[in-house]
Every structure is written in C-alpha cells, then in structure tokens.
Amino acid sequence: MAAELKVLGACPLDCPDDCSWVVTVRDGEAVGLRGNPDHPYTRGALCTKVNRWLERAGDADRIRYPLRRTGRKGEGRFERISWDEALDEIATRLDHVVRGHGGEAIWPYWGTGTLGYVQGLEGTAGRRFFNVLGASAHDANICSSAGSSGLKCTIGSSAGMDPEDLAHARLVLLWGTNPLTSGHHVWKFVQAARREGAYVVAIDPVATRTARQADEHLAPLPGTDAALALGLLNVVVGLGAQDEDYIERHTLGWAEFRERIQEFPPERAARITGVPEDAIVALGERIARTRPTAIRATQGLQRHGGGAETLRTLACIPGVTGDWARLGGGLTFSTSGHVKLNRAALFRDDLRPGPVRTLSMSRLGEGLLEVDDPPVMALFVIAANPVGSTPHQNKVRRGLAREDLFTVVLEQFPTDTTDYADIVLPATMQHEHADLHDGYGHLYLTWNEPAVAPPGECLPTTETFRRLARRMGLTEPSLYDSDERLAEQALSSEHPWLTGITLDRLRKEGFVRLAAPKPFLPYAERFPTPSGRLEFRSQRAEAFGLDPVAGYTPPGEVTDAERARRFPLALVSAASHHFLNTVFGENAELRRRSGGPTVRLHPDDAAARGLASGQRVRVANERGAFEAVLQVTDEVRPGVAATSKGHWPKLSGGANANAVVDERDTDLGGGPVFHDTRVEVSAV
C-alpha cells in the first residue's frame, strides 16, 4: 500500500477565516482534504463549499491548456494552442499597445479569487511586470474599501479587536454579518461567549441562518444602520451610562458627537430604520448595562452609499461605553490592518517609469467604455470573474465586447468572463502552487505548500508572468524572483509583531500567530489617529468632504423618493451559502443545493403584486433585469427583496443580481453599492 503524505496549506478564498488545511497525497494524487485540527481558528473544519475543493480541481470542465478565441466575443468558442503561441501573441499585442497608446492603456484587473500574497492579493503575481510596462494601477475596491475608510476616520485603522476575543463578550452584536454562511469559524467564539451567559443580537434586514440562531433579531432597512447606532447611543446617554473617564482620556470631539446623538431619539431612529421603537430602547438599555459589548461587522454592511459613515459611527459605540479598553469589547471588521508585511518590497511600485492613473475595479464598464486619454486597449483579468461579480453587468458586457480590446484571462474554469477573452491561460489551483496568506478574520500567517503537480499545462500565475517577461525581453531582475523569494520579501518587515516569523518556520509549522500582545487590546491606551484618540470628530473625514462629526448618511438610491416610487423594493444580494462570490458557481451539486437563483419577499409585498411562492419572477430596474424563483417568507422585512450573489449568469438564464446594480461609489473609499439598489418584482 502506498504511503500517504500530509501537506499543510491554506484556503485561498475571499473569506475572513483563511483556513489552514491538510491535503492527503497518495501516489502523487490528492485524495483527501480537511481542516487543520491544530490551527486554533480552523479547528479541523472547512465549509460546505471548500469541502468540494478536490472534486472541483478534477472537474472535466477545468481549463488545462492555453486557448485562443475562434468565435465572436461572448460566445465562448476557443481552440487549443501552445504556450509558445500564446506568449508570442500576448507579447506582440502588448508591445503594439504600449507603442501606440502608452503603458496606461493596459489594465491589469486583479480580483479576489485568491488572497495569497504571492499568487494573487492586490496583484502580487504580475504586479512588477505591469509596473515595468507603466500600466494603469488597479484599485481593488470591491470588497471593504468603504468600511475601511470610515473606520480610519474614527480609530485610525481598519483593524479592530481579535475575533477570538468575542468569547469574552457578554453582549455580541452581529451587525450586518451572517457567519453561519460566510466565515463560520467565528461562531465557535460566539458560542463560547454564550456558554458564559452572553446575549447575542443579529442586526440584518433578513432573518439569515445566523439571525435565526441569535437571541434577538432586529431588521433595519438596508443602509440605515448608522441611524440605528445613533438611536441606541441616545438611549445609552439618556441613562447616563457613557464611560466619562474613558471619553475624557481617550476620545476627541465628544461634545459635538453628543449633540449628534441627541438628534436621534429612538422614535426618529425607528422612523428611519423601520425597527420598532421599543426594540431600539430595549437594546439600548442592554448595551448601557452590559460590559463588555462586542460588535462583529463585515463587508456587506458597507456596500451602500453611506457605507463609510456607517462603520465610522459603529466604531463610536465602544468609544462611548469604554469597551475598546475591555477584553471582549470593541468592534471587529477586519484584522488585515494588523498584518504589517513588507508590501513595498513585494509590489515594487517603484519600478513604474512615472506616475500612472488608477482605474476602479467596481467601475469596469465605465473604464472600458468611457475612460480616454488613453483608452483601455489591453485588459488582463486575473483571479476575477467581473461579468458575474461587478456592478452594471450589461455595461461590463458592452465594454468586454469591444473588438479593439485585447483581453487575456487567467482562469481555472470557463466563466462568463472567459467567454470574452482573446487568450485564456490555464491557472493552477491552491494545492498546486506555493503561497503566503493571512486572514482578515484572525491574527495568523499561513504557508501553503504545493501538494501535487498541476494538471495539463496549468501554471502558477507567478510563472506565467516570468515567462511573459522573458518573451518580451524585459531585463528587470526582480521580475524573475522565485515564489519563495517573493514570500521572503513580504516577511522582511521590521514590525515587532513579525519578529521570528520566517519562511523556514512557516514551512515547518504551517501557520504562526502574529507576535501581538496578549491579552490583545490594541486601542486600550492609544489609537493610530492624528490625535492618538478615538475621533468622534475627524479632520480626516472633513478633508474628504464628509461631516467632521460621525453620524448618518442616507444610502442614496435606497432613500431616493422618485426611485422609491418607480422601484419600491430595496434589493439585498448577500453571500450564498453554496458559492463564494462566483467561485464554485460551476459546480453542479452546489448549484442544485442552492436551488438556483431565488428572490425572497415579505408576504405583504408579494400579496400587493399578486405573487406566490414558486412563481418565476423578473427583478428589474432601468439598468437591467434577472429572473429568479420567488419565495414568500416573513424572514425578509417588508420593503426588501433578498437574493444571493455568486450565480453564473450563463448558467442562470443570462443574468444575475449585478444586472440591476449601479456603478456609483460609496461616500468614502470608492466602494461599490451592491445593497443600495431599487427594483421592482413582477411575474415572468
């Protein structure tokens, strides 16, 4: 019997948990995959999606060889070619673009299909190559830019408390987050808090899997969370429960923020949010008397016009109560700001010949159809499926359909986006290449060791760009650094929390916790703001055109009176339990389990339209439409239409929820507004 080999690695997907995994290899073949039982956060468990990882890797539809388009753009017809042919054509076309339009006519479009520092995150793989060419910079704003920008106004960083410390909380507010579907490992720490008597409240327009397990559920209208936060603080301050000592020693602008709080009595907050006044009063009283209180808020909460202001205001709650100074208190949105890797050494933006423009990930249609001087003439899509994931789907398709646009897609499967490519290059999957990861939901670094050889002619993205650099005759030495060398450069930071963390150690142990102090209270004494204090009043916010005092910004389209008349339902397109963004969207079993595209309406909204469960309906506005099966349920509050993201358009009737989403930006950070969308629902 052949000996089995256990290889440690890391899940690469866009999830806060960044699971450590163990691949079982027999005779060069991966025959098993499980969560690493030794990892303090993963604890042996993977999610329902990643449990099918090896099945996905061996799927017959996997792209294993370079391809060249033979049909019209969008048809998805290709012929197999050699790597030499592919590299020759790409090199020739890029040289033509640079000579005719300049390097900025190239757009390297990186997504979050992998968050590794070597193969994917922010374009490490290929970033140096495009810097040498002087290509446009890519703003990877689609995930958390609004919330991160808002938090920096209040606490100076996007990073907050360690999610593991939720176990020490006595009141847990799961605000706009559904961990039992997306990032489920944090639930272990919520359960630990519960066993010690903690009370758990879910705040979400939809009664999600998580909300149904909570002790209490509040359902505000999408985009009104900051008004709810101010209403809760109104109750806290009305009871005199603010921590005056903490406020005096550690905050800035309290007098002005207190006036702002007074503008939002519970009755006004109830009118804005749709949450009953008595529920606001009751939760406000609970916050007033419960220490420590912890807030878990994730990315969906800030994907609307007022997204930055929302996180900015939520971070003020533990400033008023003093919970930032208590173990188990504060707010956790992301931990990535605590990871101080040497990004400058990794990215090498100094290789650019001069300043370059920045193009927005969430405004791809605009970038391809409206940006000029120069126009985008070459597009590289890496670890992304923008036709399925990006706002204003029909506009994106029009841009990708340009015959004068040269498009290269590095992919593992024939997505809606590869259908528009001129050249498709086969990319490795995580257990087939090396990578370095952190999690934006914990404080561990993880090394991913390749476990098996890739199938066919698939290459790591790093190797693809090394070969392309050689083909173009580029002489910059750093373009040819090995994957291990790239990881070592990332780890070369002098930050004290990285002391003793080397590539050799990571390869041996699989994962290492940052050398952060324990107990972990990052802002008990000082915040990384200009004042060193939590800033209820922020000069940074004022400089960006926001009200200097934290407050409530209406979401925009959701509260536009004319749009509300024409399109009376607020659409929420949340994470699917069965897909991660559009990853796994091709898997037949997971598509079956998902039940296909559905939209949920409250019984009152369904009755007003003469609709019933099981009907096929059209969800539409002036930008486009998608079709889904209707579910009538009181799990959705009145005025909201709830669907899930991740369905591949070509496997779902030709469109998904992004057909109706606009390319507008959030109030700060340039984030997308997926949950700031008005629609009408009608029978097909």
Task: Centre a 10 Å sphere on the Cβ of residue 51 and count the other Cβ atoms it contains.
Answer: 13
Yes or no: is domain 67-143+339-513 CATH 3.40.50.740?
A: yes
CATH fold group of domain 557-683? Barwin-like endoglucanases (2.40.40)
What 3-state DSSP class applies to 498? helix
CB 170 within 8 A of CB 290: yes
Which H or E run includes 193? helix 187-195
Q: How far apart are CA 211 and CA 300, in angstroms?
A: 15
Find where tokens 């670094």 sit: 445
Distances in whole angstroms, Cα of residue 74 to Cα of each of 78, 301, 396, 654: 11, 33, 12, 12
How crowded is residue 102: how many other Cβ atoms within 10 Å of its Cβ? 18
Between helix 225-238 and helix 266-273 the angle, nearest 10°, is 170
Tokens encoding 75 = 């048809």
∠ CA 333-575-277, nearest 5°, is 65
The domains of the chain are located at 67-143+339-513, 146-333+520-543, 557-683
Residues 6+ apart with CB under 8 A from 398: 365, 368, 369
Pairing of strands 20-26, 29-35: antiparallel
Q: What is the pLDDT of residue 546?
A: 94
Q: Do 108 and 138 touch, CB atoms closer than 8 A?
A: yes
For residue 503, CA distances in Å to 435, 490, 580 come to 11, 10, 29
Q: State CA 122 to chain mean position distance.
A: 12
Closest CA to 12 of 583, 563, 621: 583
Give long-range contacts, CB 8 A cutoff, 24+ apart: 236-241: 236/284, 236/287, 236/288, 236/320, 236/321, 237/261, 237/262, 237/320, 239/284, 239/285, 239/288, 241/287, 241/288, 241/289, 241/321
Q: What is the pLDDT of residue 560?
A: 78
Give the amino acid at 415. Answer: T
Find out whether 619 and 625 touch, Cβ atoms under 8 Å.
yes
How long, in residues, is the chain?
684
Q: Which regions of the chain are under pLDDT 70?
A: 1, 122-123, 558
* Topology adopted by domain 146-333+520-543: Dimethylsulfoxide Reductase; domain 2 (3.40.228)
Instruction: State CA 232 to chain mean position distance.
Output: 28
Contact status, residue 14 vs residue 581, Cβ threshold 8 Å: yes
Give the separation between CA 273 and CA 234, rounded to whole angstroms. Answer: 15
Rounded to whole angstroms, the Cα distance separating 92 from 626 reads 39
Tell me the C-alpha distance between 380 and 409, whole Å: 6
What pLDDT is stored for residue 125 in this prediction?
87
Q: 139-173 pLDDT, tens per residue?
A: 999 999 999 999 999 999 999 999 999 999 999 99
* DSSP collapsed to 3 states, 132-164: HHCCCEEECCCCCHHHHHHHHHHHCCCECCCHH
Residue with tokens 């099966």: 629
What angle (nearest 5°) sits at the alpha carbon of residue 517, between those of residues 513 and 519? 105
Residue with tokens 């890739």: 454
How far apart, in whole angstroms, are the C-alpha atoms of residue 64 and residue 61? Answer: 9
Question: Can you state the percent helix, strand and coil of the chain, rounding each to 5?
Answer: 35, 20, 45
Confidence (pLDDT) at 1: 58
What pTM was estimated for this model as a whole?
Answer: 0.97
Beta bridge partners of 358: 137
Distances (CA, A) of 368 to 75, 145, 491, 666: 19, 22, 36, 21
**8, 510 in Cβ contact below 8 A?**
yes
> Phi/psi class of residue 495: alpha, beta or left (left: φ > 0; alpha: ψ in -120 to 50)?
beta
374 with 104: CB under 8 angstroms? Answer: yes
